[in-house]
Amino acid sequence: MTTKTRPKVLFFDVNETLLDLTIMKKQVGDALGGNQELLALWFTTMLQYSLVVSASGRYEPFGHIGAAALQMVAANQEITITEDKARDIIVNAMQNLPPHPEVKDALKALKNDGYTLVALTNSNAESLKNKFENVGLTTYFDKLLSIESVGKFKPFTDVYNWAAQNMNVKPEDCMLIAAHGWDVAGALWAGWRAAFVSRLGQQTFPLAPRTEINESDLQKVAAILVSYK
């Protein structure tokens, strides 16, 4: 097997890739009348309307879009949630998500092996900073990047181009590590490399190029990357 060259920068998606959404699932489920199965619908609705906002040339904080999506899903269950209440639920849920069990060891291994680690998230900069400080992830990263600076959400190509430029590297020298098929698809179509973390319930998009790494957790992804020369 041919040894692959090392990416110059590893960019990490945050929610679900690094952080476990179980706590959020319960809080959102409680707000939806105890129906935790609606989390997936809420999350996809949030993603859908983040793309609607970007495609329309507008920008709203990801948390505000998440709150609006919560109101929409609740309304379909004949539950009324005010805007203020919805935002309070989403902000509280998103600020205290623990990392998946293997995440810190995987990040440490990559950092010790000389990789540059960057977080790249649809959340705003303040939310990202608080999340990482709350769970002790800040020290593993060389930079924290929020799409807030570019005003569009992943997977718009402009976001990946901006992130590469921010780190002063070419697209082909970037690798996105994410647990979302839409995110790795966007990165690959932007000329990046990609590694997929196949968390429970997540799949790659069959119409997108294949990721060069596809493993069930971040520790396995890290082990492959450490083997690169």
Tell me, which fold does domain 9-20+97-227 have in CATH? Rossmann fold (3.40.50)
Q: How far apart are CA 104 and CA 98, in angstroms?
A: 11
Helix (H, G, I), strand (E, B) or coil at 118: strand
Within 8 A by CB and 6+ apart from 117, the residues are 10, 12, 107, 110, 111, 140, 141, 142
pLDDT in tens, the chain (229 residues): 456 899 999 999 999 999 998 888 888 889 999 887 888 899 899 999 999 999 999 999 999 999 999 999 999 999 999 999 999 998 888 888 999 999 999 999 999 999 999 999 999 999 899 999 999 999 999 999 999 999 999 999 999 999 999 999 999 999 999 999 999 999 999 999 999 999 998 999 999 999 999 999 999 999 999 999 8
Residues of the chain with CATH 1.10.150.240: 22-95
**For residues 13 and 221, is the Cβ–Cβ distance under 8 A?**
no
Which amino acid is residue 152, in one-letter code? K
CA dist., res. 152 & res. 224, Å (int): 31
For the chain, residues classed under CATH 3.40.50.1000 are: 9-20+97-227
Give the CATH architecture of domain 22-95.
Answer: Orthogonal Bundle (1.10)
Q: Is 55 exposed, middle or buried (0-12, 13-18, 19+ CB in 10 A)?
A: exposed
Q: Is the peptide bond before 61 cis (omega within 30 degrees of 0)?
A: no
